[in-house]
Structure formats: structure tokens, C-alpha cells
Structure 1
Amino acid sequence: MKLTKFGHACVRLEKGDSALVIDPGSFSEESALEGARAVLITHEHFDHVEADRLRRAAEADPSLEIWTNEAVAATLTDVPAKIQIVRHGDTFDTAGFGVKVVGEWHALNHPDMPIVRNVGFLVDEEVFYPGDALTPPGVEVPTLLVPTNAPWLKLPEMVEYLREIRPARAYSTHDGLLNDIGLGLVDRWLEMEADGQKAEIRRLKPGESVTLP
């Protein structure tokens, strides 16, 4: 499986000639969706989903499948794709990938803002993407996509999450709000944790790919 990081919180997974994209929001490159057969969306915030680009992708390929929670689906009624609503505990197959849904709620963002629905996705029992939450998946996770910067996230929480999950590999997500100084700090924090856990834990640059076992 090939994993490619796009801007901020978007990743693309590929096997053979099939591609699946997670959270192609407004901070990521629209090219992430080119040729994709399926899209997974964790929650409704604009940095994770943008209806107009999904509409364009579905118009180019009417067979496109979108899997997300009920709140997001309600915002995509004008997107001519096959939209499937999923909840915690669901399992499904799409674009040649097996997916399990894990989690229900976004992390607390602001005391005056309601907590929105958030579903994470475990893909092929290999890659876990929690969305905007630090949800423990309850199973072994070979590859974790770990949020590293957000209004709802503190450094100790991110480190504790990595230590709880103890993945063989972890790559940064949700880092598009940082300048070069902030990204340098993330790189250092992940390097320290990689040394401590004897694992591959690092940030992928936008457009960078890795091949997973």
C-alpha cells in the first residue's frame, strides 16, 4: 500500500490501480482526488471536507463513493456521488480496501462551540486515521496518522496518544496551520518519540509518499 501526504489533514492510499482519499479539505491540494474511487470524511469542518471539490470529482466520475457520518452527509446533498453514512463499529469495503469505523466525537475545540460528530477509519487493519480526536482504536495499529497541531490539542496529549497506541509507524497530520518554525518543533518532538519508542515516527511533507508493508 502506498500512502501519500497532501496538505494539512489529507492523505491518499493506493493499491494497484485503486485509490482512496481521506479528508480532502480546503487546506489540501485538489489533485489528491484525481482518479480516486472512494473518499472517507471524518467530520464536517472545512479543513477536512469541501463540497465543491467533491462535486467536481463526482461529476468527473459518477461512480465515486463517499463514506462519512450523518452530519457531513447532510451537507453533501448536491454532490452526485454514492454517499454512505457510517457510525462507530461499522465495517465496509470500498475501492478494494477494508475499513472499520472507530469513534464518535470530535475533541473539545472551544467551550462555546458544540462538539461535532467525528468518525475515525482503520483501513486494511494497517492505517488508522482518527480525525480530530485521540480515539484509542482498541486494536494493534501498524500505521498511525497522528494529529500534531490543532486548537484542541496539547503536546502532552499527542505524546501520550503515541505512547498509548505504540504504532510501528506514525506520520503527522493536521499540521497545515504551522509555519516553518512550528513544523520544525513538530519534527523535533516526533524525532524524540521515535527514538524513545524505536519506531518510525515523523512528518511527511506534502506530496511525500511511503510504501507500507
Structure 2
Amino acid sequence: MKLTKRLHSCVQLEKDGRVLVIDPGAFSEPDAGLGADVLLVTHEHPDHYEEGRLRAALDANPGAALWTLRSVAEKLAGSYPGRVHTVGHGDAFEAAGFDVRVHGELHAEIHPDMSRITNVGYLVDGSLFHPGDALTVPGVPVDTLMLPVHAPWNKIAEVIDYLREVKPRRAIDIHDAYLADLARPVYDNVLGALGGTDHGRLTAGEARDL
């Protein structure tokens, strides 16, 4: 599989000429979902879900389909009959040659006074795990963990503990649009020293073979 990092939490995976895109939200490139055969969305927050980007991707490729949680699926299912699928924790499916398993149920807590929405993470081909906005431990071996490195709902100590618990072979940053370039070396050094795994980051558009 080839991984291409897009802006913020959006990632693109390619295998055997097919393309899977996770979370082409409002913080990702306007064309982030274009060319996708499979679209996955973790939750309804706009930095992960942007309706226009999803519609553009589904319109551009009549064979493309979307898998997501109910709150997002309900917004699009009527426009794309048979192409929008609702998933939840424990589900598994095959799409365009990718094996996907769903882990997680709730968005991480931002504040006790704020209700928690649904959030699901995706394990692709038993290898790469994208947790969305949660520190979900899938409970199975993970080769590549897409790591939410900076968000209103987390702190660096929690990110370190998450790395130690999941124990991936490598971790690559996502959810990084809020993090200033000036602070990146601080995060890199701390996560590299204390996370217990190979930690790195890709710039938007940079690719890596997994």
C-alpha cells in the first residue's frame, strides 16, 4: 500500500490501482477526495467531514462509495442510493480490494459540559489504523498508526500513553493543522523519545510505501 498524507487528518491509500481516502474535511485540500474509489469518514466535525468534498468525489466517480457513521450517512444517502453505507464499531467490510474493520464508538471528551458525538476509527488491510478524533485502542496489532498529534481534546502526555498502549511499528502524525511549525520539533522530540516506537511526519502531498 502507498500512503499519501493530505492536509490535517486526511490520508490517501493506494493499492492495485484503487484509491481509498479517509476524512477529506474542510481543513484538507479541496480536491482531497477526488479520484477515490472508497471514501471513509470518522465523524461529523467539519475538519473531518465536508459535504462538498464528498459530493465532488462521488460525482466524479460513479463507482465510488462512502462508508461512515449514521450522522454523516443520513446527509448523503438520499443523493447516492446504494453508495452510502452506515457502519459502527465491530463492523467489517471489503471495498475496492481494501479490507476495512471499524473500531471505536465515541469522540474523545473535549469538556465534561459538551456532549460526546459518535466517532469511528478504521483499520485498513489489518495494517494501518486511523482513529479519527479519539485515542481508540483497536486491540489488534497495528503496523502504521495515524496519530492525532494535536487537538482541542488531547495533550501530549495522552498521545505518548496512546502510542505505548497501541505499540504500532510506526506512527505518522495527523490532526496537525492546529500545530504551528515552530512547535513541531518539540512534539517530534518528545514523541520520539517517549512514545516507544518509530515516530515521524509527512508533509502534505508526501508519500510513503507501507
TM-score normalised by the shorter chain: which range applies?
A: over 0.9
Mapped pair 1:49 → 2:49: yes
Deviations 1:28-57 (A, max 9, x none): 113322211010100000000100111111
Corresponding position of 2:34: 34
Identical amino acids, percent of aligned pairs: 49
CA contact (8 A) 1:36 1:64 kept: yes
Letter of the 1:168 partner, please give it. Answer: R
CA contact (8 A) 2:20 2:37 kept: yes
Letter of the 1:207 partner, please give it. Answer: G
Corresponding position of 1:116: 117
Instruction: Give the Cα separation in 2 of the matches to 1:86 and 1:172.
Output: 25
Letter of the 1:144 partner, please give it. Answer: L
| Corresponding residue SS for 1:88 | coil
CA contact (8 A) 1:89 1:102 kept: yes
**Consecutive aligned runs of 4 or more in structure 1 exceeding 6 Å deviation:** none
- What stretches of structure 2 of length at least 5 have no aligned partner? none
Instruction: Give the Cα separation in 2 of the matches to 1:124 and 1:113.
Output: 34
Shift of 1:78: 6.0
Corresponding position of 2:207: 209
Corresponding position of 2:58: 58
Shift of 1:204: 1.3
CA contact (8 A) 2:148 2:175 kept: yes
Corresponding position of 1:2: 2
Shift of 1:70: 0.6
| Corresponding residue SS for 1:3 | strand
| Corresponding residue SS for 2:75 | coil
Shift of 1:77: 4.4
**TM-score using structure 2 length:** 0.94
Instruction: Give the Cα separation in 2 of the matches to 1:179 and 1:89.
Output: 36
CA contact (8 A) 1:39 1:67 kept: yes
Instruction: Give the Cα separation in 2 of the matches to 1:2 and 1:205.
Output: 15
**TM-score using structure 1 length:** 0.93
| 9 and 182 in structure 1: CA distance in 2 versus 1, 3 angstrom threshold | same
CA contact (8 A) 2:3 2:11 kept: yes
Corresponding position of 2:18: 18
Shift of 1:206: 1.0
What do you get for the CA RMSD once the two structures are aligned?
1.4
Corresponding position of 1:88: 89
CA contact (8 A) 1:59 1:80 kept: no
